[in-house]
Amino acid sequence: MAFGFWLGVFILLSVWPSVRCSDLPKGAIETACRDRYLLVTTQLSFAGNEPRFEAVDADGVHPITKQYGSECGYMFSILPLPGHAELRASYFSCHTDNQDDELFTLRFNLIITAASGVETTYTVNATCSLPLPWSPREVSCEENYMEVSMRSDVSCLYGTTTDAWTAALATAHSSATSTWQVMFQQEGQELIPMSFSEARELGYVFHLTQGRLVFRSPYTPRSVMGSVSMVNGSLVEVVHPILFSRQRWVVMMVDWIVACSTNEGMYDGVQLVWQTPTLLSPLVSGLSGLESSKITMGVDGQLLDEPITAERGYSLDISDTTVQISIPFNAAGGYRKSFVMDNMYHEFYVVRLYYEQIFLDDCGVETRLRLHRPMNTPLLIQNLSIINQTVLEDRVFTVYLGNLSYDVDLVAVKLNGQNFTILEAKKSGLVITMVPQPDSTLHAYILRVPFEDAVVHKLYSTEGLLQFSLDINYTLVILPQEEPYYYLASVVAQFNDVFPPFFNGVCNEESITFLMGHKPFDYLWEVGVGPYLLTPNLAAKRGYIMQNDSKSLTLEVPLFSVGYTYKDINLKQFYGSFEIHSRLPKTLEVTSSLAKACLFQTTEVIVCSTEGVLTVVTDVALAIPGAEPNATFLLDSTCRPQETDDTRVLFSFGLHTCGTRVQVDHQHVTYENEINVEHTIQSATEPVKTRDTASVVTVRCVYPLSDLYKLFAYWRFDADSPGVGTILTRVPVKIFQPTFPPTTLTTTRRPLTSTATSNTGLSPGREMPGIHPRAKYVKVFNRN
Ligand SMILES: *[C@@H]1O[C@H](CO)[C@@H](O)[C@H](O)[C@H]1NC(C)=O
Ligand SMILES: *[C@@H]1O[C@H](CO)[C@@H](O)[C@H](O)[C@H]1NC(C)=O
Ligand SMILES: *[C@@H]1O[C@H](CO)[C@@H](O)[C@H](O)[C@H]1NC(C)=O
Ligand SMILES: *[C@@H]1O[C@H](CO)[C@@H](O)[C@H](O)[C@H]1NC(C)=O
Ligand SMILES: *[C@@H]1O[C@H](CO)[C@@H](O)[C@H](O)[C@H]1NC(C)=O
Ligand SMILES: *[C@@H]1O[C@H](CO)[C@@H](O)[C@H](O)[C@H]1NC(C)=O
Ligand SMILES: *[C@@H]1O[C@H](CO)[C@@H](O)[C@H](O)[C@H]1NC(C)=O
Ligand SMILES: *[C@@H]1O[C@H](CO)[C@@H](O)[C@H](O)[C@H]1NC(C)=O
Ligand SMILES: *[C@@H]1O[C@H](CO)[C@@H](O)[C@H](O)[C@H]1NC(C)=O
């Protein structure tokens, strides 16, 4: 059969339309000779939205209206999805020139109305030779009519009960004339004989060709003489005419019947399903027909071989009672359309089923039934699905946008109102991945945005609730028309018990150690010392010992390093305190702090306070062995020590009192005083106090000039930070030991060997020959 079939196709294709206009665009109007009809198609792009056809024959032109088409064998439809209009004209249609049921010539006018209202008419001529020999009986279930043609020599009684036939016979005998008449048999209805023209009035067309009887009926409701019934779950429409005439003394009767399954088909969510009874009674009423029944399916008016339908996923299930055909959504052979409506993705799928069944009727005559059945899904809404795949511990928003059809692309995202195309998102370090969805043709996108990303909204409440939120507005487009639509999603991540870093302070003998255990959101705050951010650099510069690992931060602050404040200094002990705090990086608002005060043993100390008070504890016996500490005084000899013990003195005095000398240079203000000692000369009679004019110890405070602007503006001492204090003693050059770290107080003291007491006239701003800082006594309080 293959060769013959292909030859047939070749011949079909070689029939060209002849139209009046010679320079039509390619494919504008095409014709094809199909098994039992001529197919004329015209592209909508050429023909506009409302093309019309007229059948043309020797009698004139006959507009093909809906009703006229259903009565005369023309099926016209506009099909937006393939994008064309098509006309199927039965070879037995009213205005066909039929030569021996073998050669059919059809003429049409195609009328196209331009937007301007101007009509253009094209002539379409086609001649088809029968591609496939006629079966004895053929039934065509077109979309808008039923047509049966029978070889005129076939005689058989169809599905007629004997009683009914007897009644028909009686009516025929009583009303038969030499002209043919017709009566329609209907369950429980009287038989009414009528002429062909009367039947034509009702929409029924009978005609005789060279060798065949043709009957055509529209479907209900015009088909008043027919009936619709349920046959094994399927709707079947039946029209049963009986023709009769009297030829001399013989009454001739032709029992005709046409039946079509009129099921609409339905969509079950996965596929379009259509079914028909296996035995289309009353066309065939016994099981005899089933044996030889051959069932084939196809689409668009053409049958398909089984391998092709299998490949496309169509299925044809034939049982004793029903034939069921299923075509999956979007299978090849159908047309799918997707579009945006109300900002939602819609789609539907249309398939034009073609079905053929060959069976032997009750009389053993082959019947070939053909059926056209367009089916479509309802309008389907593709609901996207959002899955929040965020894992809090990862601190990355992970959002899955799924159920996207293959023709949908993500082109942009708006994150908390900020636009990103896919390319920009990539550049900004956001990750957008397209992933296929398992077991479907759908795909999905996964968007990853770290909580710490600048676009993420952060909200912190002092109750310890930290919230990250992200509003997403996806811009999707349907390809190829690039129709956009938007999808919104919102994700939130919350953490409880998030508090600023917590410090622990520990007093050591000569330092304070701060401890801070790292917590996940520590990065929200910074650690500060005074106005400064604690960095490894700052720590190194100020001599803090900082250790920072993934678990914790340890900061050891040696006594006397920058940042300490002192109070309650006496000869035994004093308080040194140091403050560390956490603050918000943007506002510098302090969120937690710890000022740790520790009691330290006093050995020697000099403190130049911000209020302009110099407090010093020093060992005078080191400078002058045997010197009486309670015999010391300052430049103003009325200024005596506040406290003394065996060797040490404690002086505390305002920098503008006790004869303190002041010197100002470009950048600094230097205050200097001297601790002198009164010698008691052991004379023979009684001890005589003499004053040694040579100072024992020089104490000095240096403040940056810029810190003291209030002093000059308001005569009030109020430095921004403590001054730098120095204790200087007369030490012979050769004894100078510069190897001690300046901030260490625990080094062994080395007594002075010289007691040289000559007054060097030490005055501010001058070189002080012979006076060198004893390294271990020098405390330098740098600001940074
Ligand atoms: C179509 O056929 C008719 C009659 O056969 C003829 O008059 C007419 O010229 C034909 N038109 C074209 C375009 O061939
Ligand atoms: C339904 O199918 C069964 C076969 O299973 C058949 O016997 C019966 O006649 C059918 N019903 C009609 C109304 O055709
Ligand atoms: C999509 O959502 C609409 C309305 O919410 C619903 O009617 C429809 O059944 C849904 N479609 C699917 C395929 O889930
Ligand atoms: C998304 O598709 C899956 C099948 O791939 C389906 O199970 C799920 O219900 C769909 N979600 C929505 C919202 O339609
Ligand atoms: C984002 O893009 C839209 C159009 O795509 C535009 O109207 C809007 O102004 C943009 N917003 C920002 C913040 O760039
Ligand atoms: C989402 O973005 C589009 C385009 O920028 C905009 O038209 C739409 O209004 C946005 N939707 C919402 C809810 O912000
Ligand atoms: C998303 O997932 C995170 C982590 O599992 C969860 O905390 C959050 O409540 C979820 N829901 C939304 C709407 O973000
Ligand atoms: C300590 O180390 C952590 C990383 O382990 C770092 O985030 C933090 O900034 C460091 N702190 C200081 C003060 O350097
Ligand atoms: C100095 O202290 C000694 C004993 O510690 C005492 O005897 C002496 O009187 C004191 N001298 C003065 C001037 O206070």
CA of 630 to the centre of ligand 9 (A): 6
Contact present, 297 and 303 (Cβ < 8 Å): yes
Single-letter amino acid code for the residue at 631: A
* CA atoms of 528 and 517, how far apart (whole Å): 16
Q: Give 760's pLDDT tier (boundaries 50, 70, 90).
A: very low
Q: Give 630's pLDDT tier (boundaries 50, 70, 90).
A: confident
* CA atoms of 629 and 651, how far apart (whole Å): 11
Pocket test for ligand 8, best of 548, 549, 552 (most atoms within 8 A of CB): 548
Instruction: Name residue, tokens 């001690």.
Output: 740
- The CATH number of 605-780 is 2.60.40.3210
Q: What is the pLDDT of residues 390-401, one digit of tens each?
A: 999 899 999 999
Compare 67 and 23 and report the one with higher pLDDT. Answer: 67
Neighbours of 683 (CB within 10 A): 8
Q: Give 99's pLDDT tier (boundaries 50, 70, 90).
A: very high
Single-letter amino acid code for the residue at 383: N
Q: Considering only CA atoms, give the Rg of the chain.
A: 55
Per-residue pLDDT at 686: 62
Q: In percent, how much of the chain has pLDDT > 70?
A: 84
User: What SS3 state is found at 221?
Assistant: coil
Single-letter amino acid code for the residue at 707: D
Per-residue pLDDT at 432: 93
The residue whose CA is least distant from atom 8 of ligand 9 is 630
Pocket test for ligand 1, best of 29, 97, 125, 127 (most atoms within 8 A of CB): 125
Per-residue pLDDT at 324: 94
Per-residue pLDDT at 160: 57
Q: What is the pLDDT of residues 118-162, one digit of tens each?
A: 888 999 999 999 999 999 999 999 999 999 998 877 666 555 566
CA of 413 to the centre of ligand 6 (A): 10
Indicate which atom in ligand 7 lies nearest the CA of residue 491. Answer: 14
What is the sign of the dihedral through the CA atoms of 716, 722, 724 and 725? positive
Compare 67 and 742 and report the one with higher pLDDT. Answer: 67
User: What SS3 state is found at 75?
Assistant: strand
Long-range contacts of 747-751 (CB under 8 A, 24+ apart): 747/776, 749/619, 749/622, 749/776, 751/622, 751/625
Residue 605 is inside which H or E element, if any? strand 605-608
Per-residue pLDDT at 3: 31
Indicate which atom in ligand 8 lies nearest the CA of residue 527. Answer: 13
The residue whose CA is least distant from atom 13 of ligand 2 is 231
Instruction: Tell me yes or no: is domain 383-495 CATH 2.40.50.
Output: no
Q: Is 486 touching ligand 6 by the criterion CB < 6 Å?
A: yes
User: What SS3 state is found at 339?
Assistant: strand
Q: What is the pLDDT of residues 227-270, one digit of tens each?
A: 888 888 888 998 888 888 888 778 888 888 888 999 989 999 89
Q: What is the pLDDT of residues 458-472, one digit of tens each?
A: 998 888 899 999 999
The residue whose CA is least distant from atom 7 of ligand 2 is 321
Q: What is the pLDDT of residues 491-522, one digit of tens each?
A: 999 999 888 888 999 999 989 999 999 888 88
Single-letter amino acid code for the residue at 547: Q
* CA atoms of 346 and 469, how far apart (whole Å): 30
Domain with residues 4-133, CATH architecture: Sandwich (2.60)
Token pair recorded at residue 284: 């065939």
- The CATH number of 263-380 is 2.60.40
Lowest mean pLDDT segment, chosen from 55-69, 105-119, 681-695, 736-750: 736-750
Pocket test for ligand 3, best of 338, 349, 383 (most atoms within 8 A of CB): 383
Q: Is 628 touching ligand 9 by the criterion CB < 6 Å?
A: yes
Q: Is 778's pLDDT higher than 50?
A: no
Q: Is 5 touching ligand 6 by the criterion CB < 6 Å?
A: no
Token pair recorded at residue 183: 């009566």
Indicate which atom in ligand 1 lies nearest the CA of residue 125. Answer: 1
The residue whose CA is least distant from atom 10 of ligand 2 is 232
Q: Is 691's pLDDT higher than 90?
A: no
Average predicted confidence (pLDDT) for the chain: 82
Q: Phi/psi of residue 341, each to 5°?
A: -140, 130
Name beta bridge partners: 707: none
The residue whose CA is least distant from atom 8 of ligand 6 is 486
Contact present, 430 and 474 (Cβ < 8 Å): no
Q: Is 306's pLDDT higher than 90?
A: yes
Lowest mean pLDDT segment, chosen from 286-290, 352-356, 427-431: 286-290
Average pLDDT over residues 616-642: 84
Per-residue pLDDT at 232: 80
Dihedral of CA atoms 739, 740, 743, 745 in degrees, nearest 10, equals -160
* CA atoms of 694 and 300, how far apart (whole Å): 124
The residue whose CA is least distant from atom 2 of ligand 6 is 473
Contact present, 362 and 284 (Cβ < 8 Å): yes
Length of the chain: 784
Per-residue pLDDT at 17: 43
Per-residue pLDDT at 215: 93
Indicate which atom in ligand 9 lies nearest the CA of residue 628. Answer: 1
What is the sign of the dihedral through the CA atoms of 537, 541, 542 and 544? positive
The residue whose CA is least distant from atom 9 of ligand 3 is 381
Q: Is 318's pLDDT higher than 50?
A: yes
Per-residue pLDDT at 243: 87
- Closest by alpha carbon to 55, among 112, 124, 104? 124
Dihedral of CA atoms 580, 584, 586, 587 in degrees, nearest 10, equals -80
Q: Is 419 touching ligand 5 by the criterion CB < 6 Å?
A: yes
Q: Give 457's pLDDT tier (boundaries 50, 70, 90).
A: very high
Pairing relation of β-strands 344-360 and 294-299?
Answer: antiparallel
Compare 690 and 628 and report the one with higher pLDDT. Answer: 628
Per-residue pLDDT at 172: 78
Q: What is the pLDDT of residues 648-675, one digit of tens each?
A: 889 999 988 999 999 988 888 899 998 8
Per-residue pLDDT at 688: 60
Q: Is 281 touching ligand 2 by the criterion CB < 6 Å?
A: yes
Average pLDDT over residues 13-22: 43
What is the sign of the dihedral through the CA atoms of 62, 67, 70 and 76? positive
Contact present, 25 and 123 (Cβ < 8 Å): no
Q: Is 272's pLDDT higher than 90?
A: yes
Compare 714 and 33 and report the one with higher pLDDT. Answer: 33
